[in-house]
Amino acid sequence: MADPSSSPLSAYPSSPTPYHGDSRILPNIPEGHSSPLSALRTSPLSALRTPFTKAPTITMTPRRSRPRSNSDFTLTPHARVVLNVTPHRNSPNQPPAALPPLELSPGFIMQSPIRGTAANKKAARMKEGQEKRAETMAEKIAAAERDHFMEEEEQQRRNQETFRRCLELLRSKGTTFGEFLMYVLDPKSGEGVVRWHEFAAVSGRITQILDWWSSGKNPRRVRDELDEWAVEHVCSLLAKQARHVTRMGKLKTWGRDIDEKLVLTFSFQTLYQYLRNEGADLIVRVFESIAHSKDTPNHSEARNLRTETVVTSTILQCLAEHNNGNNLSRRMMGLYLYASESYTSIVQNDSHMADESTLSSLNPIPVQPLSDGPPSASVQPLSNDPPSDIPTQPFPNQPTSKRHRIGTLQKLSASIRTKARGVATVGLFGEVYDNINFMSRTGEQALGHHDSQENGTCVTVFELWAVKIEDLQSSVLQEAFDNALPLTKEDILHNPTESALFRKCLIHGLICIIIRYSQQEKLQAFRSDMEKRQPYSNIRITPHHTKVYPVTAFNIDESSITGNVDADEAVVDILELRKRVTRFWERVRIIAGDQLSIARLRSIQLLRAGHEGGYEGFGWGVWMPGLFHAKMTDIHGLMTTHFGNPSASIADPGSLHFHNTLLGRLPIVPTSLPPFHTCRNLVFVSLYARALHCLLLVSGKSSLEEYAESLSSWDQLYSDAERIYDTYANAAVVGELREARELAEEGEAEGDMVFENAVLFLRDALISREMADAVRAGDSGRVVLVLKIWALSFRGSGRTKYAYEMLYLIHNLEKVWPKPIRDAVLNNWLVSTNGRTFLEVDLLQEHLNYWIKVFYKAHGSNMSWQWLGMIAPCVNILRALAAQIHDILGYDQYLRHAEVDISNDIFGLMDSLDNREVYKTTKGRKLGEDQIVLDNVGFGLQVYTTGNHNPLHEFNEMASQLQRRRRMAPLDVDEEITPPTHTSYSPNSTAPLNHSNGATTASQGNNTDPDEPEDQYVGELAEILDALDRGEVEPTLVLAGADDVALDFEDVGQMGIGADADELFEDFDRDPEPEPVEVEADMWAL
């Protein structure tokens, strides 16, 4: 017998052996007890043969002491015996193997028992039971499937046998299967029940049959016949859906108003959904099968939208060819091509395709008469083929008449004027008008055929915001004017609260320049603080979208007083105020325009006061000056004041001429300044460079990078900006230096002309920047603060007419207009075309004029005032449609270029300012006497307050005379009119600030007889009125290109708005409490 130690099992006494077969766990055997196997050794059964091929394998795990993972105590190890028995079937050819001797057994291998909590044991039992049930169910399902498959095979065998017998029966009866099939499927056979319940009711059978017939295993003739039938069937379905879409009328324009809503809601995506969901899904599927490919599922969303656009456009063209009434897409695309100036090159080339986007459909010529109303129902489209019941040749001596249709542009223009009339009828509307001038050029000069200057007027109506109709009573306005107090210098100057707010605004403007144009990333961390800490007044316009209705352009030159009368009468006729509103002059009309237009309207009122009443008296008007033209005047004044002397022997290194030359730009002649945008760009680039250069001076840093690294808080940034303002934008510093130079003795060096000029420019340019920011933010209170400064500076820069216009405006705001009318002006002299930012109402009109006379006017012999009057109301819609189609097509050939990088210009000017020490005081540095920059603000204040007959005194005299005239009874009014008296005046009807000392009051006018003849006007103001009568125009900057009248030309982004657009506009209604460092102006508070 072999040694037990040599057994293979004895080599691994302490490791468990792999488990194969059945297992039995023997009971634990305590120490000192004999093993049950010892009894087997002495048992007579050990000599018997067993049905197992080898002896049982007994495995015992070693003793271990370790804590279980789910308990805090240590397990007590116990022996665990595992008996592995491998069953073996007795083979008749092989006797069962003998059991090996027990001496070869390695003995017990102790193993730790599996112990756990009751929940673990229960989970183990449930898992074992679930596995067993799953195995049982799987076996039952497999057995059921086998039985079902065998039954199906048996049933199929029986069916095939039946089918063969049926075919044999048909043959025996002398008929065929085809005849039988035709009989059953024939609707006339009466076998509908059989045909449905025993054949067609089973889904998929017909499709399967068609797939079999179209299979390549069938003859070619069968497949061709099937394909031809399918094509014929699909074509009939497509034609049916095309007729359905035509009957629905969604794609038709006949009988529909072509208005702004129809044009701006046109969308290929909307029409795609309509066609797919409203009965034309098969048409869409057919065209999509052509447009799609195997890679379509992997396309992006933008690519899928483009595919939908292509599919929809093709379908719309086909439906328009199916029925000429389905011409919506043709008309809209015709408008788009005209709006995008692609008309000449595309539309005319595509005219052979019978596309209605031709000039004859946009504006059929001639159309007599030109009616603003919708076309009558009797107007029908022209057809190339006459009806069959009408002879093609006219009868002899029978006059022929040709029926003309109203074009798309004419319908669109008429719809906009109709809306404008509706707004005017309600009364809550404002007007803005401006002259439109252009050259009508001819190709060849001939007698009576040469170039001519065309002068006309364009008018736009807009809805008033935050105004009630009961606030627009002309009687209240006239009474307030009659009781108005004179204008005083305190009304022009800032009060302490306004001065504090204005100072905060200018300092904040410096911070905005530093953060944006320093090109330092670390300074961008303060952008949120910059937006949140923007100073503001309590007179701000709530964000809204202004509804604008361009009315028309007519051939009336408003460059004279009589021309303005004719222009206003034309507007009244176009809006049909006489017909729609009884005594419409009893309601106030707010009219905006440039200074010349407003001055002429005021002159009409002055000349007719006391002579004519009602509409002809013009006492119903509230004249609202255009702020954009005031902004142009300010830039013009800056250029003339700070440009410098190009021919001077000593160049001023801080002048605009020097900077323009340094930047390498086109030369500028002071007597013929370039367009507005060019001048404004030069002023602001110089301003940004000076602000950043002064930042380095006050901080003592050598570069902007070093300053950004040293900046640690907003307070430090604000302190540096405040030091810039107090040191380098303070006119008081200039006054001290100039006074020291004047008082200095001969040979004593005092003053610094270069530094003085530079300080005044920085102050004036900051004010211009503040005006731009206030307008963009819609902060009317900040706008008024700038206008009060301009009332002084315009006088110093020689802009006399605009200086008087500022006096009229301030007088009206402070002393004349009742509070409701004043609020109406402050809420509506800025409009918003995007619902976020604001712009001047006269800039909007200049913008429309540019597009009318440059882009949309006809050329050659087609150019006429009739065309301009028709196209003027459509400009906004045409541009919006062009932008919308460009967005749909994913291509815009008229996209504006990216913002020009002016950082090199700024840094170049900074180096020049530093090298020439422009902002460092050098005593005794002198320039020519003609190079000394005048302090326009201080000079204007001196003019208004010096002498007994200063401009302010003349202004009050003119206002007093007008008051006396308007108290006179008009000669053309039959009924008795009682002039307003002071006893009926209520302080609550107006909201003036009384800063005067009471020396001069309007009550002094009562000492004059109302019927006393008016004195002749004398002085500077009388000369201005005479110049208006003669048509003389004050020199100003020109508007030559699109950049000059762009609606979004503010190049400092969100500067001046104060916060991110969305956040700020949410805060407008909440009026957040200002921080302690901010000062809020309570302007015109009662």
Residue with tokens 């050939």: 893
Residue 408 pLDDT greater than 90, yes or no: no
- Spatial distance between the Cα atoms of 183 and 206, rounded to a whole number of angstroms: 17
Q: Which residues pair with 438 in a beta bridge?
A: 454
SS3 207: helix
Q: Residue 737 above 90 pLDDT?
A: yes
Please compute the mean of the pLDDT values over residues 463-483 and round it to a whole number. Answer: 94
Q: Note whether 409 and 870 are within 8 A (CB).
A: yes
Whether the upstream peptide bond of residue 366 has omega within 30° of 0, thus cis, is yes
Measured in whole angstroms, the distance separating CA 988 from the mean position of its chain's CA atoms is 41
**Structure confidence at residue 406 (pLDDT):** 79
Q: How far is CA 438 from CA 318, 451, 852, 860, in A?
A: 43, 10, 10, 13
Count, residues in the chain: 1086
Q: Which residues on neighbouring strands pair with residue 87, listed in sequence order?
A: 52
Looking at residue 370, its pLDDT comes to 36
Does position 977 have pLDDT exceeding 70, yes or no? Answer: no
Q: Considering only 78-92, 124-138, 393-407, 887-901, which range has the smallest mean pLDDT?
A: 78-92
Average pLDDT of the residues in 942-951? 88
437 phi/psi in degrees, rounded to 5:
-125, 140
Mention every residue, 6+ apart, whose C-beta is less than 8 A from residue 440.
Answer: 451, 452, 453, 454, 863
Alpha-carbon span 794 to 629, nearest angstrom: 13
Asked if residue 576 has pLDDT above 50, the reply is yes
What confidence tier does 216 reach under pLDDT thresholds 50, 70, 90? confident
How many CB atoms lie under 10 A from the CB of residue 859? 9
6's tokens: 């040599």
Q: Is residue 603 a contact partner of residue 618, using CB atoms and an 8 Å limit?
A: no
Please tell me the predicted confidence (pLDDT) of residue 257: 85
pLDDT, tens digit, for every residue of 700-710?
999 999 999 99
Global confidence as pTM? 0.73
Number of H helices, E strands in the chain: 38, 10
Token pair for residue 69? 């993972």
Q: Is the pLDDT of residue 1062 over 50?
A: no
* 441 band by pLDDT with thresholds 50, 70 and 90: confident
Q: Which of 32-46, 301-315, 750-764, 898-912 has the lowest mean pLDDT?
A: 32-46
915: pLDDT confidence band, cut at 50, 70 and 90?
Answer: very high
pLDDT band at 107 (very low <50, low <70, confident <90, very high): low
Residue 421: pLDDT above 60?
Answer: yes
Which amino acid, residue 278?
E
Q: To 10 degrees, the CA torsion angle through 923, 924, 927, 929?
A: 110
Does residue 387 register a pLDDT over 70? no
**Domain coordinates in residue numbering, the chain:** 1-116, 123-201, 363-377+404-443+450-474+508-647+767-907+935-1086
Separation CA 673–CA 136 (nearest Å): 100
Residue in the block written with tokens 């920047």: 769
Report pLDDT for 639: 96
What is the distance between the alpha carbons of residues 377 and 381, in angstroms, rounded to a whole number? 11
Give the residue, 76 or 585, on which the prediction is more confident: 585
Tokens 């039938």 label which residue? Answer: 229
Confidence at residue 391, expressed as pLDDT on a 0 to 100 scale = 38
Q: Mean pLDDT lowest for which of 98-102, 370-374, 727-731?
A: 370-374
The answer to whether the beta carbons of residues 858 and 645 sit under 8 Å apart is no
User: Sign (positive/negative) of CA torsion 60, 61, 64, 70?
Assistant: negative
Q: What is the pLDDT of residues 790-802, one digit of tens each?
A: 999 999 998 999 9
Is residue 1059 pLDDT above 60, yes or no?
Answer: no
pLDDT recorded at residue 1018? 53
CA distance 459 to 321: 40
990: exposed, middle or buried (C-beta count within 10 Å: 0-12, 13-18, 19+)?
buried
Please indicate whether residue 1005 or residue 915 has the higher confidence score (pLDDT): 915
Give the pLDDT confidence score for residue 755 in this predicted structure: 97
Residue 846 phi/psi, 5-degree rounding, is -65, -35
Look at residue 873 in the predicted model and tell me its pLDDT: 93
At 458, which helix (H) or strand (E)? strand 452-463
Q: Interhelix angle for 676-699 vs 753-777, to 10°?
A: 110
| Mean predicted confidence (pLDDT) in 769-788 | 97
Beta strands in 174-263 (DSSP E): none
Mean pLDDT of the chain: 79
Among 243-257, 679-693, 818-832, the least confident range: 243-257
pLDDT confidence band for 980 (50 / 70 / 90): very low
Which tops the pLDDT comparison, 393 or 103? Answer: 103
Rounded CA separation 482/963 (Å): 6
Check: CB of residue 311 under 8 Å from CB of residue 287.
yes
Residue 48 in this model has a pLDDT that exceeds 70: no
Fill in the amino acid letter for 973.
V
Confirm if 733 and 760 have CB atoms less than 8 A apart.
no
